[in-house]
Amino acid sequence: MCVSHMISAALALAAGLSLPVVGRARAFRTPSRPISISNSGAAQRVLVTDGLAPAALDALAAGGADVTSRSLTEDELCAGALAAYDAVIIRSATTLRADALSAGAAGRLRVVGRAGVGVDNIDVAGAHASGVTVVNTPSASTASVVEMTLALLFAAARNLPAADRGLRSGEWLKPPARGSRLGSELAGKNLGLLGFGRIARGVAAAAAALGMRVFAYSPHAASETASPLGVTLLPSAEELFCTCSHVSLHCALTPQTRLLVGGEMLERMPAVGPDGAACGSHLINVARGGIADEAAVAAALHAGTLTSYASDVFDQEPLPADHPLLGCPGFIGTPHIGGATREAQDRVGLQIAAAVLAVLDGRVPEDGVVGVA
């Protein structure tokens, strides 16, 4: 079976499983009270702060919403700017704290839509305390982020960015040239997945098709989910790092996972694969910045303890120009573009529009209602 078919099979399997969505280190339960939206017959006002696909804006308007697209400052949010709207749809650029949510709920605000998976930029408990329902799009960008993970895995294993930069600067960095690094195959190596939601399962299927041995750790993973994909579940994150030369992060950023991957964890990683090849150690992050201790990662890259760190996400975004990772050998960075494909953006927009309209209509969406932990 080809890689694309393996990925499709894994995504289809994930869609039918009642498991925590990728990007969460813990399951959520839906609100204990029913969703109830008062509707006086006037058009529901929906604010879009961080942009949305044109098809999604059209869908909101077709559903009877009065749509406004504009960004808000933190001061405006805290001053109650959301009180003028029945719903707000955000991405990662907007943070909604409890005070902004309660101020909004004192007026019209009843729904927060997160166009994406992660809800770490929303105070979910504060939203529910104010009677505000939070919805997201847990499956819309899965295929795109799976492919992004694979792209970073290949780039790290073959040192592609450095080779490209060298070529542009007139250097022919073909081993054994000075400054070059001999790459390694992914086939025959151990891949560890920290987290085992939809995206991790898609990565597992593709990696297995490439000939990798796949391991995973998640407190929510079950053997009946892992076994069909040929994945071995391990009892702890520590054992995952001890076992795998390549580790990819797929858990949520929570108080329990913040700075989980630090210097001690990185030192556990083997630099030799089970096939005997000196492949080095490689860390991939498409989950959330803050899960990996970036200062510890930078130190490990300089010390040679870690061969490469390929990350699409950072603790502070945009990444500051003086960030220590930017001067590290083996660092590969992209500006949080894992879900930035035409296909994913259309799906994200249409799914969040449908979820928000459903809640405003007093209905529970089929997928994506985020409850209190």
Render 243-295 in DSSP notation, one character per residue.
Answer: H-SEEEE-S---TTTTT-B-HHHHHTS-SS-TTS-----EEEE-S-TTSB-HH
Annotated catalytic, 201? no
Render 139-204 in DSSP notation, one character per residue.
Answer: TTTHHHHHHHHHHHHHHHHHTHHHHHHHHHTT----TTSTT------STT-EEEEES-SHHHHHHH
Annotated catalytic, 317? yes
User: What does the alpha-carbon distance between residue 369 and residue 119 come to, in Å, rounded to a whole number?
Assistant: 11
- What region, left, alpha or beta, does residue 259 occupy, with left being phi > 0 and alpha being psi -120 to 50 degrees? left
Task: Considering the candidates 128, 288, 294, 347, report the single residue annotated as catalytic.
Answer: 288
Annotated catalytic, 282? no
The Cβ-side half-sphere exposure at 157, using a 13 Å CA radius, reads 23
Within a 10 A sphere around the Cβ of 343, how many other Cβ atoms? 12
Q: Is 234 helix (H, G, I), strand (E, B) or coil?
A: coil
Residue 23: closest CA among 111, 117, 86: 117
Residue 267: closest CA among 305, 230, 238: 305
Secondary structure element (H or E) that encloses residue 215, with its range: strand 213-217
111-128 b/e with 16+ CB inside 10 Å = b?
A: bbbbbbbbbbbbbbebbb
Task: Considering the candidates 74, 238, 317, 366, report the single residue annotated as catalytic.
Answer: 317
Q: Is 352 helix (H, G, I), strand (E, B) or coil?
A: helix
Task: Considering the candidates 24, 213, 250, 336, report the single residue annotated as catalytic.
Answer: 336
Q: Is 326 helix (H, G, I), strand (E, B) or coil?
A: helix
Catalytic residue annotation? 288, 317, 336
